[in-house]
Amino acid sequence: MSHAKLNTKASGSSTLAGRARDAGVAAAQAAAASKAAQVAAATAQTAAQSAAQTASQAAQAAAAGVSKGVQQGVYSARGWAAPVIHSAADYTTATLAPKVSAALHSTADQVSPEDTRKRGRSMITWSLLAAAVLAALGAAGVIVRKRFQDAMAADSEVDAEAVAVEEAGTPADGTAADTTSTSTDAGVNGRVSSSGW
């Protein structure tokens, strides 16, 4: 019997040692699982922060797009409303009191969208256009004056020859004039030309 008790005690201690080993392995596995859970939680937190930033940026971009769309819509509405209000003001000018018309014109001026173009640029454009027109008019004036002077000089030469022919009875170059074959015709523009008939 004593041997049987010893055997039972030995088997009881080995069972206890096995249980302790199993508990140690389970504790190690639990610690590893805990570490894995912590790593997974950190990864999930990083992913959540990244997703939140992405969503925030997308929401901001969408809000900016909506804001721009709203601004464009307001601009278009104002562009449409101003002429309609002016039209109503013109109608009331003809039919109703002038004070109402003046108030509507004032409102239309306040509602109409501002011109986005710079006024300085348009002033430069108009100045350059005016300079170009003046230069073209000056050049045309010079051409007309030159043609007029040439025509007057040609008329003076013809008149001088005609006076010389009448006074001397012969042309200025000394040859006899043949009055039967040529005659001088005055054209519409005042130029004198010799025709053969």
Give the three-class secondary structure for 178.
coil
pLDDT at 143 over 90: yes
Which DSSP letter does residue 176 get?
A: P
Percentage above 70 pLDDT, the chain: 73
Domain ranges within the chain, ordered by starting residue: 1-115, 117-178+190-194
* Tokens 């019997």 found at: 1
Amino acid (1-letter code) at residue 173: D
pTM score, two decimals?
0.27
* 21-60 pLDDT, tens digit each: 887 888 888 778 778 778 877 787 787 778 778 877 777 7
> CA 74 to CA 111: how far, in whole Å?
11
State residue 169's pLDDT score: 61
Q: What is the 3-state secondary structure (H, E, C) of 49-87?
A: HHHHHHHHHHHHHHHHHHHHHHHHHHHHHHHHHHHHHHH
**How would residue 153 be classed by pLDDT, with cut points 50, 70 and 90?**
confident
**Confidence class of residue 6 from pLDDT cuts 50, 70 and 90?**
very low
pLDDT in tens, 63-99: 777 777 778 888 888 888 888 888 888 877 777 677 7
Give 3-state DSSP helix, strand, coil % of the chain, rounded to 5.
80, 5, 15
Token pair of 99 as six digits: 């004070």
Choice between 4 and 189, residue whose per-residue pLDDT is larger: 189
- Residue 195 β-bridge partners: 183
CA pair distance 147, 158, nearest whole angstrom = 16
Residue 15 has pLDDT above 90, yes or no: no
